[in-house]
Amino acid sequence: MTRRTAGPLYQRIADDLRARIQDGSLPPGAKLPTELALAKEHGVTRATVRQAVQLVVNEGLVVADRPRGHFVRKIERITYRPQEEWRERPDFPELDQFMDEQVELGRDPHQTIAVELTAAPPDVAARLGLDSIGTVVVRRRVRYLDGVPFNTNDSYYPLDLVEGSEIMLPADIGRGANQVLAELGAEQTHAVDEIEIRMPSPDEAERLEIGLGVPVAMHRATGYTADGRPVRVVRNVLPGDRHLIVFERSRGRDSTTPSSNAHP
Amino acid sequence: MTRRTAGPLYQRIADDLRARIQDGSLPPGAKLPTELALAKEHGVTRATVRQAVQLVVNEGLVVADRPRGHFVRKIERITYRPQEEWRERPDFPELDQFMDEQVELGRDPHQTIAVELTAAPPDVAARLGLDSIGTVVVRRRVRYLDGVPFNTNDSYYPLDLVEGSEIMLPADIGRGANQVLAELGAEQTHAVDEIEIRMPSPDEAERLEIGLGVPVAMHRATGYTADGRPVRVVRNVLPGDRHLIVFERSRGRDSTTPSSNAHP
DNA sequence: CAGTGGTCTAGACCACTCG
DNA sequence: GAGTGGTCTAGACCACTGT
């Protein structure tokens, strides 16, 4: 942490706040001094203090809880393992995988499911190899943990592949949508995971109750059958303050250089 | 894009800017109207316009290029494949892998290398299984593409493992540090990749020339030998506007559930 | 009701780049 | 030298929360 001794006033005030957070005198969850108090302390107007506070808010260090005050952000991440979707499931699971794992950890998960028929958005169409009029089935899920929205999970399937199947029903699929796909003759043997880091759109921020200063990961997974046909695209939006993405890899032949069907 | 018809003025102005960016009337690279022009257009003061502009800047949609004006951000990402570090390399490579791949793509890469001996930072110590006084060798690299800093790559090795080896020299290792480790009797057979999404610290922002509104991914890779001993931790800081992280996976036994040595 | 942050105005001066 | 955004002041009113 480089301490500034010159430069704009608001930067110096922000430096001071960061230092207090880092050295523990303002621990996670602590309430910051009020804007008025900071103004008096530094001999500036409230407007200048607000610039400083805005800065640390946009860095994700501090959250505004209006009108109680500003507080040091508490961060608690769950581990998100894209590879686990291919883990063996119990023979008669009652919940889907996300729910299942979280219950094991003593959390209270639930999710909303909506199914929709639309034209494939461009990124999905490109990965599914569909032309511009390709119709897809989308399963949109919002997942909650202890009442807080945690991530969104939108799965896209070519309509002709899943028409009439369980995938089109807005309900949990205990054995997993991938299992249903396999039963439909489209078993997936490999997948490509893409992770894009950016700030959320206003829509995403609202849907996931994301505050300022929290970026998201857009995780896209494209699943392929043995003959290289893409049969599924999943778009996950993961708020950065609530997720740690984990992959494991071995030096085996099949997990290093699959070489084909790579996107983009 | 939900258009607002009520609410704070600056939000409405920001909505208007977003809409113009999304519908193409302000394409990537285009110059926004000046703050004064926007103020007149919307019948508000410059301070209010600045709030609106700050918002879209912090969303990463717009960059300030002072004092020329504000411009719509152009985003161009390179593909970053953690698994590729285990790709077969040419017998007599002259450059390291990052450089090599980028030259193939017609870019001009270079990197700075500094080697340092320090106590292991807590996150590294935890992953290497070292106690609080464990000493490590750090190879710090900053990688540039066409003169722009692209990412940082700090590799940590237990001192007793690499002492006296090529790893301690601040120069490119054509055949790769992993190959050197193997020659030292510490061949890695599997690894855990962790990806954390957050806003950059002021230090990181400066080192990587990151503007407001650009989050980073912290990618940590921990490499293990066949007997499960961690021998290397790499910390990569990847600015979100310049990277797309890609993994590929097969449904084979070894790439799905390695189960042991997982962090955290 | 008091205290907090959120929004907005009106104005001032500065540093830097470009023509 | 004109024009841009960056910084800062002084003041006002509002909406919401907790007591």
Domains and CATH numbers, chain B: 9-72 (1.10.10.10), 78-261 (3.40.1410.10)
| Identity at A109, one-letter amino acid code | P
Pick from A198-207, A253-262, B31-40: least confident: A253-262
Within chain B, strands assigned E span 62-65, 69-72, 78-80, 109-119, 135-145, 148-158, 188-198, 216-225, 230-239, 243-250
pLDDT value of residue A254: 41
CB contact under 8 A, A215 and B195: no
CA distance B84 to B65: 36
pLDDT value of residue B255: 43
Chain A contact probe: residue of B3, B181, B207, B255 with most A CBs at under 10 A: B255
Quickly list DSSP for A76-118. Answer: --EEE-GGGGGS---SS-SS-HHHHHHHHTT--EEEEEEEEEE
pLDDT value of residue B120: 95
- Evaluate if residue B88 carries a pLDDT over 90: no
- Using C1' positions and the CA of B37, the closest nucleotide is D4
- Evaluate if residue B52 carries a pLDDT over 60: yes
pLDDT in tens, A153-192: 999 999 999 999 999 999 999 889 999 999 999 999 999 9
**How would you classify the pairing of strands A78-80 and A69-72?**
unpaired
Bridge partners of A115? Answer: A139
- Using C1' positions and the CA of A65, the closest nucleotide is C5
The protein residue nearest nucleotide D14, judged by CA to C1', is B8
- Evaluate if residue A50 carries a pLDDT over 90: yes
Of A189, A194, A180, nearest to A234 by C-alpha is: A194
pLDDT in tens, A68-127: 999 999 999 999 999 988 887 777 667 777 777 777 788 888 899 999 999 999 999 999
The protein residue nearest nucleotide D10, judged by CA to C1', is A45
- Tell me if residue B131 falls in helix, strand or coil: coil
Residue whose token pair is 């299992």: A179
Residue B2 pLDDT level (bands cut at 50, 70, 90):
low
Q: Which residue has the higher pLDDT, B13 or A104?
A: B13
Total-model pTM: 0.92
pLDDT value of residue B252: 65
Closest partner residue to A197 (CB to CB) among B201, B240, B263 is B240
Q: Would you say the C-beta of A47 is within 7 Å of strand D?
A: yes
CB contact under 8 A, B83 and A257: yes
CB contact under 8 A, A250 and B246: no
Residue B170 pLDDT level (bands cut at 50, 70, 90):
very high
CB contact under 8 A, A247 and B60: no
The protein residue nearest nucleotide D16, judged by CA to C1', is A67
Q: Would you say the C-beta of A118 is within 7 Å of strand C?
A: no
CA distance B154 to A158: 43
Closest partner residue to A245 (CB to CB) among B83, B188, B195 is B195
Pick from A211-215, A236-240, B173-177: least confident: B173-177
Residue B263 pLDDT level (bands cut at 50, 70, 90):
very low
pLDDT in tens, A139-151: 999 999 988 899 9
CB contact under 8 A, A58 and B58: yes
pLDDT in tens, B96-134: 777 777 777 888 888 999 999 999 999 999 999 998 778
Residue in B with minimal Cα distance to A195: B245
- Evaluate if residue B42 carries a pLDDT over 60: yes
- Evaluate if residue A253 carries a pLDDT over 50: no
pLDDT in tens, B198-245: 999 999 999 999 999 999 999 999 999 999 999 999 999 999 999 999
Is B132 an interface residue toward A (CB < 8 Å)? no
CB contact under 8 A, B250 and A189: yes
Is A197 an interface residue toward B (CB < 8 Å)? yes
Q: Would you say the C-beta of B17 is within 7 Å of strand D?
A: no
For strand D, list residues 76-135 of chain A whose Cβ lies within 7 Å of it.
none
pLDDT value of residue B257: 38
Bridge partners of A118? Answer: A136
Q: Which residue has the higher pLDDT, B179 or A3?
A: B179
The overall average pLDDT reported for chain A is 90
pLDDT value of residue B153: 96
- Evaluate if residue B69 carries a pLDDT over 90: yes
Closest partner residue to B193 (CB to CB) among A58, A249, A257 is A249
Question: What's the Å distance between residue A56 CA and nucleotide C11 C1'?
Answer: 28
pLDDT value of residue A3: 64
